[in-house]
Structure 1
Amino acid sequence: IAAVKYAELSTRRDVDYVFSPEKVLSPKGNTAPYILYSLVRVKGILRRAGWAAGIPSELRGKPNLLSDMVYHLHRNDLDRQLGVRLLGFAIAIEDAIQTLMPSKLTAYLYSVCLLFNAFYEECEVTKATDEGLRLTRLLLVHGVRQVLEKCLDLLGIQAVETL
């Protein structure tokens, strides 16, 4: 059901299309299986890092956390791109609401997943040797989780733990 719902919402309402079960269920492209797979991957990283319940309390209020993040985001292009994309979350929601086109939110969601999966393939997260870099990347992954879960919730699609 999530796959069909996502396919309907990701299609612009002013464009005709032919329903294709193969396309809707594909694990590649702007589909629910791809989005949900990305979320499961995000949750796996956070679980392995001990962040399944959220940001550890000992990090809250850490004095140099923000400056460490800024430093590391400027050093790695994928980290920076992902961080900037996450910052576009509110704009994506506002755009979808103002135009009454949920397809704009699904396009944003897909773009976050594409960047996250490229980031996942290229960047060490839990095994990063520099502690500041590790924390920065874990915070990015945590941000991806929040954005994916909120987008799915807004679209009326239940987030999953496993596939």
Structure 2
Amino acid sequence: PYLQYAHARICSIFRRAGIDRASVRSVAPRLDDPRERALAMRLLRFDGAVWDALDGYQPHKLCTYLYDLASDFTSFYEHCPVLKAEDDAVRTSRLFLCDTTARVLAQGLELLGIEAPEQM
């Protein structure tokens, strides 16, 4: 449920923001805070985590990656205001990180045969 909850939380952020997630996908993220950088670096490792899980049929490696991603997102979300960011550029950048995290979580959960709910 932790991974599903993280996905649902991100979907809730976009509902509260009143914007379409696709609208932030062309943004170049600003990574001023260490938690933003940590989340971005974790996101970049998704392909490797999938290949590691496929190599040797070890799905637990993907589970571990997704858990670490959800943990990094939680830390980011607790310390980096998204909807109440200091300016629009930071807000949009953080929404980009949220959307990318949601897409990676959904894709990873789908590979494991688990639903990624938009609400819980």
TM-score by length of 1: 0.69
Counterpart of 1:141? 98
Secondary structure of 1:124's counterpart equals coil
Gaps of 5+ in 1: 1-32
Cα distance in 1 for partners of 2:113, 2:25 equals 31
Percent same amino acid at aligned positions?
40
Cα distance in 2 for partners of 1:36, 1:49 equals 20
Counterpart of 1:47? 15
Q: Supply the RMSD in Å over aligned alpha carbons.
A: 1.5
Gaps of 5+ in 2: none
TM-score by length of 2: 0.92
| Structure with more relative contact order (C-alpha pairs < 8 Å, separation 6 or more) | 2
| Aligned ranges 1:101-120 → 2 under 5 Å | 101-120=58-77
| Aligned ranges 1:1-163 → 2 under 5 Å | 33-51=1-19, 53-56=20-23, 65-66=27-28, 69=29, 72-73=30-31, 75-163=32-120
Runs of 4+ in 1 over 6 A off after TM superposition: none
Q: Could you say which structure has the larger radius of gyration?
A: 1
